[in-house]
């Protein structure tokens, strides 16, 4: 039987995860990436337990633990003015007990490298910017442009659009819906540990809550760097590019009056990137014929649950499971099964992420007090069972045939 040929457009975390799972299932998957070099932004990422389990399935969890920081201490919520701890959730062994694994915080570049090194060189074609996709009853055809303007065509049995929030594949699948500007932007910086306040060095994921904004900090890269993400009102800022610089004084101004330790952290930052935050409304379709979407192309979400990449990994795992026994005649059915299994869960998380927008940014007052006392009496790790403990094998067993 000739192998099913799968073309993945986009070599981000989602596209690489898809290539790994598909190849592990014995399928021929090639990634086509527009960039001439694969790289991730200089920033951190929470590798939630549901994503760690999938890295483990790929045999990569041990290597993750050697570069990432294991959240041993706590998941800490603090108040803006005085840094008062509103709530500290123990992670470490409690996380293992509940979800079978630790939770990690990693440098994105380390994570990307981990995936890349697990793929053979011939699995990735760089400098391939997809400009068109077509399909007929027999196959799909992709047109790519190189930096020099040369065009090439590739045919495949299945096309996976893993090309991010501004996907060029998406219009072939779903009626185009504009991305939604959240009104917020993210400042991101990496602070060298030797310059950071003591409080920031602990293996703890800290979220600071204050009126109209919040800030997340945690150590990455074996503790050598502190990752800072500050979500603030965007004002006129609309640029959505990880490579666009912001100004440190603008970032510091956003946190006037906040705890001095937070200022010590921000003052130690040497540079910052600034990125306007967009998401999308859930799409009606993720597949059309032999074309399917995955990751941010399918479900771009706000980062407030730290699940965008984790959901791309879940897509990749389920997609490979659905395709692994498919032949050319049953491909479309296999993709329908993928969509039926994955769409409800990813959509739910996309909508829930947006819901956090208001809750995280309450002005001081009765609603904020009610939120903070809920934190104090809550158990966020257990309450995250629907995210971290989700059973994809059960989804596959109960998914439509
Ligand atoms: C501030 C912030 C914090 C976040 N924190 C977390 C977190 O803690 N945990 C978590 O799980 N998620 C987090 N996320 C979400 C996560 O970063 C994304 O969901 C994830 O990176 C999406 O991966 P992707 O591969 O689907 O898309 P992308 O990373 O966007 O990759 C798309 C790839 O496709 C390529 N491409 C685009 N167009 C073309 C084309 N025409 N032809 C060829 N290639 C193309 C691009 O160059 C890129 O390499 C966060 C997001 C933000 C904004």
Q: What pLDDT is recorded for position 400?
A: 55
Q: How many structural domains does the chain have? A: 2
Does 213 lie in the same domain as 255? yes
Summarize the confidence of residues 392-399 as an average pLDDT: 90
Does 193 lie in the same domain as 274? yes
Quote the ligand 1 centre to 287 CA distance (angstroms). 19
Answer yes or no: is pLDDT of 101 > 80. Answer: yes
From 7, 9, 10, give the residue whose CB has the most ligand 1 atoms within 8 Å, as the site to mutate. Answer: 10
Within a domain: 111? no
Binding site membership of 46 for ligand 1 (Cβ less than 6 Å): yes
Does 189 lie in the same domain as 273? yes
Quote the ligand 1 centre to 85 CA distance (angstroms). 32
Summarize the confidence of residues 259-282 as an average pLDDT: 93
Is residue 218 part of the annotated active site? The answer reads yes
Q: 141 in the Ramachandran plot: left (φ > 0), alpha (ψ -120 to 50) or beta? A: beta
Q: What pLDDT is recorded for position 64?
A: 93
Within a domain: 301? yes
Rounded to 5 degrees, φ, ψ at 344 are: -60, -40
Answer yes or no: is pLDDT of 399 > 80. Answer: no
* Segments forming the whole domain that contains residue 300: 5-38+126-178+281-359
Summarize the confidence of residues 149-175 as an average pLDDT: 95
Q: What pLDDT is recorded for position 176?
A: 75
Binding site membership of 340 for ligand 1 (Cβ less than 6 Å): no
- Which of 173-182, 197-206, 339-348, 383-392 has the lowest average pLDDT? 173-182
Other CB atoms within a 10 A radius of the CB of residue 235 amount to 11
Answer yes or no: is pLDDT of 73 > 60. Answer: yes
Q: What pLDDT is recorded for position 375?
A: 84
Task: State the catalytic residue, choosing from 32, 104, 218, 388.
Answer: 218
Binding site membership of 135 for ligand 1 (Cβ less than 6 Å): no
Does 369 lie in the same domain as 275? yes
Q: In this structure, are strands 272-279 and 180-192 parallel, antiparallel, or unpaired?
A: antiparallel
Q: What pLDDT is recorded for position 223?
A: 93
Answer yes or no: is pLDDT of 107 > 90. Answer: yes
Binding site membership of 33 for ligand 1 (Cβ less than 6 Å): yes
Quote the ligand 1 centre to 106 CA distance (angstroms). 15
Residue indicated by tokens 């819901």: 355
Answer yes or no: is pLDDT of 30 > 90. Answer: yes
Binding site membership of 32 for ligand 1 (Cβ less than 6 Å): yes
Does 289 lie in the same domain as 208? no
Does 269 lie in the same domain as 214? yes
Cα(106)–Cα(360) distance, integer angstroms: 23
Comparing CA positions, the residue from 299, 294, 322 lying closest to residue 392 is: 322
- Residues forming a β-bridge with 155: 141
- Residue 284: Cβ-neighbour burial (10 angstroms; 0-12, 13-18, 19+): exposed
* pTM of the predicted model as reported, rounded to 2 decimal places: 0.96
From 12, 33, 124, 128, give the residue whose CB has the most ligand 1 atoms within 8 Å, as the site to mutate. Answer: 12
Summarize the confidence of residues 56-69 as an average pLDDT: 93
Share of the chain above pLDDT 90, in %: 82
Q: Please, which pLDDT band fits residue 125 given cuts at 50, 70 and 90?
A: very high
Does 157 lie in the same domain as 271? no
Does 255 lie in the same domain as 235? yes
Binding site membership of 186 for ligand 1 (Cβ less than 6 Å): yes
Within a domain: 264? yes
Q: What pLDDT is recorded for position 1?
A: 61
Summarize the confidence of residues 190-219 as an average pLDDT: 95
Q: What pLDDT is recorded for position 240?
A: 74
Answer yes or no: is pLDDT of 208 > 90. Answer: yes
Q: What are the C-alpha distances in Å from 101 to residues 45, 174, 221, 330?
A: 17, 36, 19, 36
Binding site membership of 45 for ligand 1 (Cβ less than 6 Å): yes
Does 133 lie in the same domain as 238? no
Binding site membership of 110 for ligand 1 (Cβ less than 6 Å): no
Q: What pLDDT is recorded for position 401?
A: 53
Closest atom of ligand 1 relative to the 298 alpha carbon: 26
Within a domain: 48? no
Closest atom of ligand 1 relative to the 229 alpha carbon: 1
Closest atom of ligand 1 relative to the 168 alpha carbon: 41
Quote the ligand 1 centre to 231 CA distance (angstroms). 18
Say which CATH number the domain at 287 has: 3.50.50.60
Does 373 lie in the same domain as 264? yes
Within a domain: 56? no
Does 320 lie in the same domain as 214? no
Within a domain: 227? yes
What is the chain's mean pLDDT, rounded?
A: 93
Does 346 lie in the same domain as 225? no
Within a domain: 133? yes
Q: What pLDDT is recorded for position 362?
A: 95
Distance of CA 71 to the CA centre of its chain: 18
Q: What pLDDT is recorded for position 159?
A: 98
Say which CATH number the domain at 84 has: 3.30.9.30
Predicted confidence (pLDDT) per residue in 291-331, tens digit? 999 999 999 999 999 999 999 999 999 999 999 999 989 99
């Amino acid at each position: 039987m000739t192998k099913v040929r799968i073309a993945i457009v986009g070599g981000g975390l989602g596209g690489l995860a898809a290539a790994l799972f598909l190849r592990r299932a014995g399928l021929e998957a090639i990634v086509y990436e527009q960039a001439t070099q694969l790289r991730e932004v200089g920033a951190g990422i929470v590798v939630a337990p549901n994503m760690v389990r999938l890295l483990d399935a790929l045999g990569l969890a041990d290597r993750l633990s050697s570069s990432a920081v294991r959240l041993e201490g706590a998941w800490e919520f603090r108040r803006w003015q005085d840094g008062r701890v509103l709530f500290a959730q123990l992670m470490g062994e409690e996380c293992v007990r509940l979800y079978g694994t630790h939770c990690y915080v990693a440098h994105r570049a380390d994570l990307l490298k981990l995936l890349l090194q697990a793929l053979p060189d011939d699995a990735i074609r760089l400098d391939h910017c997809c400009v068109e996709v077509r399909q007929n009853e027999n196959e799909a055809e992709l047109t790519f442009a190189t930096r020099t303007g040369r065009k090439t065509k590739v045919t495949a049995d299945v096309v996976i659009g893993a090309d991010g929030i501004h996907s060029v594949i998406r219009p072939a699948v779903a009626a185009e819906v504009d991305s939604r500007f959240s009104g917020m932007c993210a400042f991101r910086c990496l602070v060298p540990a030797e310059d950071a306040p003591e409080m920031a060095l602990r293996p703890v994921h800290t979220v600071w809550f204050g009126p109209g904004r919040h800030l997340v900090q945690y150590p990455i890269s074996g503790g050598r760097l502190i990752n800072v993400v500050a979500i603030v009102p965007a004002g006129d800022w609309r640029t959505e590019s990880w490579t666009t610089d912001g100004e440190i004084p603008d970032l510091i101004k956003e946190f006037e009056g906040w705890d001095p330790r937070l200022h010590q952290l921000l003052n130690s930052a040497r540079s910052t990137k600034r990125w306007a935050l967009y998401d999308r409304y859930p799409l009606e379709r993720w597949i059309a014929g032999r074309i399917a979407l995955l990751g941010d192309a399918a479900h771009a979400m706000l980062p407030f649950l730290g699940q965008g990449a984790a959901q791309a990994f879940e897509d990749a795992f389920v997609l490979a499971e659905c395709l692994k026994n498919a032949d050319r005649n049953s491909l479309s059915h296999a993709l329908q099964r993928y969509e039926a299994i994955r769409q409800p869960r990813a959509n739910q998380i996309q909508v829930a992420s947006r819901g956090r927008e208001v809750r995280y940014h309450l002005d001081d007052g009765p609603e904020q007090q009610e939120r903070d006392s809920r934190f104090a009496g809550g158990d966020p790790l257990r309450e995250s069972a629907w995210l971290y403990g989700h059973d994809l094998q059960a989804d596959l067993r109960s998914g439509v045939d």
